[in-house]
Amino acid sequence: MRIAFLLMLMLLSITIIYAQNGKIEIEGAVTYQTAQNIYVKFLSAKGIKIGDKIYIRKNEILVPVLSVENASSVSCVGKPVSSEKLKVGDKVIAIVTKEEAVVVQEMQREQSHAMFADSSQRVNLKTGQSPIFKKERIDGRVQISSYTNLSNLQSGNSNRLRYIWSMNASNLSDSRISLDAYISFSHKLNDWAPVKSNIFNALKIYDLNLKYEADNKTTIWLGRKVNPNISSLGAIDGVQFEMNFDHFFWGAVGGFRPDYVDYSFNAKLLEYGAFIGHLAKNDNGVMQTSLAGFNQTNSGNTDRRFIYFQQDNSLFKNLNLFLSSEVDLYKMVNGTPSNELSLTSLYFMLNYRISRKLSVSTSYDNRKNIIYYETFKNYIDVMLADATRQGVQLRINYRPVNYMSIGLSSSYWDRVGDSKPTKNFNGMFNYSQFSALKISTTLNVNVLKTSYVDGIVYGIRFDKDFLNGKMNCGLNYRFVDYNYLISSSKLLEHIGEADLSYQFSRKFSMSVNYEGTFEKQNKYHQIYCSLIKRF
């Protein structure tokens, strides 16, 4: 424990000042998700390599969310590396060299804003200071989705509608006030009883806050917000303050944790704390370190007191480390207070790009289980995600020739209380120029062995872009062969999937997805339709 704590302090003390490098940011969007992977599409993915990080921007800070497992000419697929929840349509950012980004810049020349240039700083020649130059910019989207479930079981039929409104309004009326929002409302068709009993059974406010920039160093937020410097804490309802000086930042937070059951406001869950950190860029990417101390209460009594540490380090060439951990200083255990130091959460991922063709990464995860307030994953995907998220994992990605990539991963987790450890193996082969039609083809096999199930899943997927990337079509097939060890029963499933997305314009798109699950006795059908309007 002492060694781990000293390591946190040593990493936090790194204060190297980096020069602005020859890199540029390019923007993409999430197009598809599975239990283990997230697919992202760019105007051009030239320069994105296996092992690279994909980021989202949170309050002018780049937060890593994906590690690239495979890349083609216009898209890439990656595995999550943080607790940030991505959804179809969300914007993401990749960092490539300026030379590799020429193609992207030409394709984006018609767009009115640059992807990475910071034009907000204008030097006052009289004072020598850099006051903030404010100009209003509003980006947002409205999304309407329909989820239809059909089966040969009468009780299995349902239709759920979901509406999403998200907005990032920077510098409203050219002021120092900005607004961020991400709100969803979902309900079953013709079934309003759950909504009437509690509006928050349908309404989920994931992000809703006002930001005020007092000057070019001081920022204040009011409302519900996930702070990227302490992202594993989740959303906080309250006031957040941050001050930047050179490459350092510090801040304080006071507010409430959302309700555990329905994600509504809960005044009984008061929490407060402070954080300090360092942020810089070099030729290899972004380096961010933050250390926070927090006190959480329940109905006025201290429930937990802990230290949170987060590090994203690209200090060495081709080597990246991401680390987050929580060390409890005080907690209540069955009504009894405990002041013992305990490492209650730890996640790290070390990624080494040996060459342009070969990269290796390893990770360890013992974070708490994820609570899904909304999910539309099928049974197999949920089982795989729950069984394989924690533990030690090793991944190897190899690109022997252009358009071809091979990925291997294996995980191991010996959980307390399980009769035997959980083991998982996953193999992937992708060729992005298959046949004269240049179809991206992916073969996948996943072997899972736990204390309650022993099985294998085979899969094949085809993807093809049409009309200069405006249309994307995908076909996916999986065969599931699982044996339940406790009941000696067997699960055999054929899962077929087809999806189509079309970009009518830069601000309007649609997608349709069908998934059919076929067992010996039962058949399940899921149809997903979505319209997205950006503004």
The CATH number assigned to the domain holding 521 equals: 2.40.160.10
Residue 252 has pLDDT above 90, yes or no: yes
Residue 478 counted as domain residue: yes
Separation between Cα atoms, residue 395 and residue 406, nearest integer Å:
11
Residue 228 has pLDDT above 80, yes or no: no
CB atoms within 10 A of CB 204: 19
pTM: 0.70
Percent of the chain surpassing pLDDT 90: 36
Q: What is the mean pLDDT of residues 80-93?
A: 73
Angle at 10 between CA 6 and CA 11, to 5 degrees: 120
Q: What is the mean pLDDT of residues 247-254?
A: 92
Residue 459 counted as domain residue: yes
Going by C-alpha positions, the residue among 346, 368, 355 that lies closest to residue 396 is: 355
CB atoms within 10 A of CB 122: 11
Greatest mean pLDDT among 8-22, 343-357, 471-485 lies in 471-485
Contact 310, 229 (CB under 8 A): yes
**pLDDT digits 0-9 by tens, 258-315:** 998 899 999 999 999 999 988 877 776 778 888 999 999 999 889 889 998 888 877 6
Instruction: Pick the more confident residue, 23 or 353.
Output: 353
Residue 221 counted as domain residue: no
Residue 43 has pLDDT above 90, yes or no: no
Residue 231 counted as domain residue: no
What pLDDT does residue 374 have?
63
What pLDDT does residue 190 have?
87
**Domain limits for position 457:** 377-535
Residue 451 counted as domain residue: yes
What pLDDT does residue 376 have?
62
The span from the first CA to the last CA of the chain, in angstroms, equals 50
Contact 21, 95 (CB under 8 A): no
Compute the chain's Rg from CA coordinates. Answer: 24
Q: Which helix (H) or strand (E) holds 194?
A: helix 193-197
**Tokens 């410097």 belong to residue:** 229
**pLDDT digits 0-9 by tens, 171-198:** 999 899 999 999 999 999 889 999 999 9
Residues 6+ apart with CB under 8 A from 451: 418, 419, 420, 422, 485
User: Which tokens is 93 given?
Assistant: 């950012």
What pLDDT does residue 65 have?
81
**pLDDT digits 0-9 by tens, 467-484:** 887 898 999 999 999 998
Separation between Cα atoms, residue 376 and residue 22, nearest integer Å:
41
Residue 388 counted as domain residue: yes
**pLDDT digits 0-9 by tens, 490-507:** 889 999 999 999 989 888
What pLDDT does residue 29 have?
80
User: Which tokens is 59 given?
Assistant: 């309050």
What pLDDT does residue 35 have?
57
Residue 118 has pLDDT above 80, yes or no: no
What pLDDT does residue 17 have?
31
CB atoms within 10 A of CB 289: 23
What pLDDT does residue 271 have?
95
Greatest mean pLDDT among 97-111, 128-142, 355-369 lies in 355-369
What pLDDT does residue 23 have?
55
Residue 115 has pLDDT above 50, yes or no: no
Residue 513 counted as domain residue: yes
Residue 2 has pLDDT above 80, yes or no: no
Largest separation between any pair of C-alpha atoms in the chain: 81
Q: How many domains does the chain have?
A: 1
Separation between Cα atoms, residue 85 and residue 107, nearest integer Å:
29
Q: What is the mean pLDDT of the chain?
A: 80
Q: What is the mean pLDDT of residues 494-522?
A: 91
Greatest mean pLDDT among 54-63, 131-140, 227-236 lies in 227-236
Its sign, for the CA torsion 6, 7, 9, 13, is positive
- Long-range Cβ pairs for the range 321-327 (8 Å, 24+): 321/348, 321/349, 321/350, 321/351, 322/64, 322/81, 322/82, 322/347, 322/348, 322/349, 323/11, 323/347, 323/348, 323/349, 324/82, 324/231, 324/232, 324/348, 325/4, 325/8, 326/232, 327/1, 327/4, 327/5
pLDDT band, residue 83 (cuts 50/70/90)? low
For residue 154, the 8-state DSSP code is: G
Residue 369 has pLDDT above 70, yes or no: no
What sections of 280-425 are H helices per DSSP? 379-388
What pLDDT does residue 269 have?
94
Residue 4 has pLDDT above 60, yes or no: no
Going by C-alpha positions, the residue among 58, 72, 68 that lies closest to residue 320 is: 68
Residue 248 counted as domain residue: no
What pLDDT does residue 113 have?
36
Residue 370 has pLDDT above 70, yes or no: no
